[in-house]
Every structure is written in C-alpha cells, then in structure tokens.
C-alpha cells in the first residue's frame, strides 16, 4: 500500500510542471460552420492564450490539414489582455472529398522563458460535413454556355482615343516646325547668295578687329562659322555638322579648289581649332593669315555663272 502511494506521489511530482504549464496556456480551435459544399472555403480559427513570459510556436501549415487543402494562412494577430497574451491565427481550408471529414487536432508547442522548458498543448479535433453537388441523372447533359460578351463603354475606348490624339498632335507640331524652319531657311538662302553673304560677313569681322582687341577666341569662332556656313550653302557639304578634317576631305573629293589653297585652309582650320579647344594664342600674322585665307577661299569658289552674271550687271550699270 505504501509502495503504491509512493508511486502515485512520484507521478504527481513528475507531471506537476506540465499541469502548471497547462494552466498558463489555453488552446482553442473552431470553424464558422460544420457544413460546407464541396469546393467551398472554410475558415478555421486558432486561438492561444498564454501568460507571459511565453513563446508560442504554431505548427507549420503546408499544403493540407488532414483531408482538407489549405488555401491561405493569414498573418498571426497578437493582442494583450491584462496579464495574458492572446494569439489568433486564421487558416482558410477547402475540401474536394464528400462526407464526414475531420480537422485533426493540432499540437501547439510553447516555451516558458522563466524556466526555459518546452511543453505542448493539444487542441480538439473538429468534424465537418462536406456535401456534394446533386446531379439529376434523369435529365440530359447540357452544353457549356458560350462566352458572354460585355458591351464596351466610352471609358473603355478613352485611353486609345487619348493616345491617337497625342500622336496626331505630336505629328502636327513636328510637321509645323519643319515647315516653318524650311520656309525661314528658304527665304534667307534665296535672298542673299552664299558667296555675297560670306564676303559681307568676313568684311564685317575684319572691321570689328576682335583679335586686335584681345578677343582672339571670339574672332576664330566667328571666322570658322562663316566659312563652314558658306561651304554648306555653296558646296552642299554638311560642314556645320563636321569636324575640320572631314570638311577638308570632302573639299578634296569635290576638287573645289587647288591643293595650295586647300593647304592654306587646312592651316587656318588648325590654328582656329587650337585657339578654340587648346587655349592657343596665335601671333598677329597668324590671325591675319586665317582671315585672308577665308577671303581667298570664298572668292576662288564662286561659281562661274555667278561671276559672269555679276560682270554683265556691272557692264549694264555703266
């Protein structure tokens, strides 16, 4: 008898921590309903109440829970009520088997931090009845219904209308800009012949005496601009978009002047490029050479027809 009492006392002492832990942690699960139609969603509530300091470890929900498939696991919601902490987790389930199915018990593991011991609590299982879809076998099988077309509204077409309007507006502005630019350029080019425009610009540059006043870089910038514009208008070479070497190569290919004059023009371009890009300070004679070369190049490349017509005009005037 004493041995039996001693054995019972030992078991009581052994399970005392578990009994104490069970009082600190309470687990409960339930569902919104115990009857669903096959394929419908079922919401499972899991609620754990624990006394701090306690860490609750929920089981890992993968693809299924018993014969139920897991659709979604919502985030854990934690709330504090007085001295207790409540953990709520919701799991959305579905089933594709019919009949009485069981949501199995869940083993909730937790850790008491003050004793650093693990324990667990087991929830109840839940019976769920899954009802199948009744099929009337006395009736014929019906065809699948066709696709129902939803009529379009104005708001469905609005993005495409705005895109078309935008493209048309951009195209019109681009066309208007090009037309205006061509019109302006055409008036300027037809008004003054290229060689006259270049010679007048060179004379004006000479009168301004920029390099004599110390504005050497401005002098060479304007000089090369005059020559480049003349080459582009008179010789149809895109000189304004080329570097000096490309311009000279194009002039050599077209043979618009003799080699001696082209050699002078090359030297003039080299001096101007050094001034503009390398802060080179040329001698006064070099500045004069560049300006003189510009005059020579323009005068030597005037078309013969233009020279003849100008001579005839002068003779008629006399």
- Taking only Cα atoms into account, the Rg of the chain, rounded to an integer number of angstroms, comes to 49
Residue 182 in any domain: the answer is: yes
Residue 242 in any domain: the answer is: yes
The CA-based angle 254-256-261, given to 5 degrees, is 125
Residue 149 in any domain: the answer is: no
Residue 315 in any domain: the answer is: no
Q: If you count them, how many residues does the chain have?
A: 318
User: For position 157, what pLDDT does the model report?
Assistant: 84
The parent domain of residue 233 ranges over 192-309
Same domain, 159 and 75: no
User: For position 82, what pLDDT does the model report?
Assistant: 80
Listed residue (191, 178, 258, 272) closest to 228, CA to CA: 272
HEC readout, 54-80 = EEEECCCCCCEECCEEEEEECCCEEEE
User: For position 306, what pLDDT does the model report?
Assistant: 57
**Domain with 291 in it: what CATH number?**
1.20.120
Residue 316 in any domain: the answer is: no
User: For position 181, what pLDDT does the model report?
Assistant: 61
Residue 198 in any domain: the answer is: yes
User: For position 228, what pLDDT does the model report?
Assistant: 93
User: For position 81, what pLDDT does the model report?
Assistant: 81
Residue 28 in any domain: the answer is: yes
**Domain with 123 in it: what CATH number?**
2.60.40.10
Same domain, 44 and 82: yes
| pLDDT per residue rounded down to tens, the chain (318 residues) | 455 554 444 444 444 444 444 457 888 999 999 999 999 999 999 999 888 877 888 888 888 888 999 999 999 888 888 888 888 999 999 999 999 999 999 888 888 777 777 888 888 999 999 998 877 677 777 777 777 778 888 888 888 899 999 999 998 888 877 766 654 444 444 478 999 999 999 999 999 999 999 999 999 999 999 999 999 999 888 998 899 999 999 899 988 888 899 999 999 999 999 999 988 999 999 999 999 999 999 999 888 765 555 544 544 444
Same domain, 169 and 206: no
Q: Residue 87's beta-bridge partner residues?
A: 48, 78
Same domain, 227 and 303: yes
Residue 146 in any domain: the answer is: no
> How does DSSP assign the chain, residue by residue?
-HHHHHHHHHHHHHHHHHHHHHHHEEEEEEES-SEEETT-EEEEEEEEEE-SSEEEEPPPP-SEETTEEEEEEPPPEEEEETTEEEEEEEEEEE--S-EEEEE---EEEEEETTTTEEEEEEPPPEEEEEEPPP--TTSPPPPPPPPPPPPP-HHHHHHHHHHHHHHHHHHHHHHHHHHHHHHHHHHHHHHS-HHHHHHHHHHHHHHHTTGGGT-HHHHHHHHHHHHHHHHHHHH---GGGS-HHHHHHHHHHHT-S-HHHHHHHHHHHHHHHHHHHH-----HHHHHHHHHHHHHHHHHTS-HHHHHHHHHHHHHH-
User: For position 20, what pLDDT does the model report?
Assistant: 41
Cα distances (Å, whole numbers) of residue 159 to 149, 155, 172, 173, 180: 20, 8, 20, 21, 32
Q: Which two structure tokens, joined as six digits, stand for 21?
A: 């832990």
Provide the domain count of the chain: 3
Which residues touch 212 (CB under 8 Å, ≥6 apart)?
Answer: 284
Same domain, 178 and 93: no
User: For position 267, what pLDDT does the model report?
Assistant: 94
């Amino acid at each position: 008898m004493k041995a039996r009492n001693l054995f019972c006392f030992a078991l009581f002492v052994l399970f005392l921590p578990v009994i104490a832990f069970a009082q600190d942690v309470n687990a409960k699960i339930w569902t919104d309903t115990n009857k669903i139609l096959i394929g419908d969603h079922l919401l499972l509530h899991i609620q754990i109440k624990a006394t701090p300091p306690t860490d609750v470890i929920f089981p890992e929900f993968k693809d299924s829970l018993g014969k139920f498939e897991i659709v979604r696991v919502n985030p854990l919601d934690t709330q504090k009520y007085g001295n207790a902490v409540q953990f709520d987790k919701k799991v959305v389930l579905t089933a594709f088997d019919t009949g009485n199915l069981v949501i199995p018990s869940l083993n909730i593991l937790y850790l008491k931090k003050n004793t650093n011991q693990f324990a667990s609590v087991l929830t109840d299982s839940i019976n769920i009845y899954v009802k199948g879809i009744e099929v009337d076998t006395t009736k014929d099988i019906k065809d699948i219904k066709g696709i129902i077309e939803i009529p379009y509204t104005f708001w469905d077409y609005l993005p495409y209308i705005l895109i078309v309007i935008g493209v048309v507006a951009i195209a019109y502005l681009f066309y208007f800009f090009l037309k205006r630019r061509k019109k302006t350029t055409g008036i300027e080019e037809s008004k003054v012949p290229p060689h006259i425009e270049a010679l007048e610009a060179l004379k004006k540059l000479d009168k301004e005496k920029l390099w004599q006043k110390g504005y050497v870089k401005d002098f060479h910038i304007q000089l090369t601009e005059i020559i480049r514009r003349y080459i582009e208008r008179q010789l149809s070479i895109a000189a304004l978009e080329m570097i000096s070497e490309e311009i000279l190569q194009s002039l050599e290919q077209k043979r618009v002047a003799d080699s001696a004059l082209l050699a002078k023009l090359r030297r003039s371009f080299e001096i101007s490029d050094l001034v503009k890009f390398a802060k080179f300070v040329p001698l006064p004679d070099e500045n004069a050479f560049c300006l003189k070369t510009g005059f020579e190049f323009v005068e030597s490349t005037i078309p013969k027809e233009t020279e003849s017509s100008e001579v005839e005009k002068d003779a008629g005037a006399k």
